[in-house]
Each structure stands twice: as structure tokens, then as C-alpha cells.
Amino acid sequence: MMRRLDASGLKCPLPVLKARKVLLAMQPGDRLELTTTDAMSVVDIPVFCAQSGHIMVNESRQADGFVFLIERGPG
């Protein structure tokens, strides 16, 4: 299952907190596409994934922000 979360305009730590909440409601193996505009997201989101056991599948920069593809981990 794929879900999308637009956290554009939100500053740290809100994109991480909102992603965490959505991921907790998902099943292991499901994927979340997270869109952000906060420059700190490129640091915060990968660290969050590593600490929480989620998998950072892809990370890309777009003209208006960043897009992260996260797979929910087993925990």
C-alpha cells in the first residue's frame, strides 16, 4: 500500500512527527511518499528512518522541496 503525506511549509520537527504518526498506522512493507520544503528534512528524515527501523527507499530534490519514499519497517 502507498500513502502520501504533504508536509510542505512545516518546519522541523513537524515533518518527522507527522511521518511517524502515519507510518505507525501502516503495515510493515507499506510505503509512504513524504513531500517537504524544510531544508533540514534531508538530515532529519534519514536519521528518523535509521533510528525507527524504517527503510529510506529514495530521496529526491525537486524545485519546490524534497520527496522521500519510506518503507515501513517491521517494528
Write down the catalytic residue from 10, 12, 56, 69.
Answer: 12
* 49 assigned to active site: no
Torsion of CA 5, 32, 20, 23, to 10 degrees: 120
Catalytic positions, written as ranges: 12
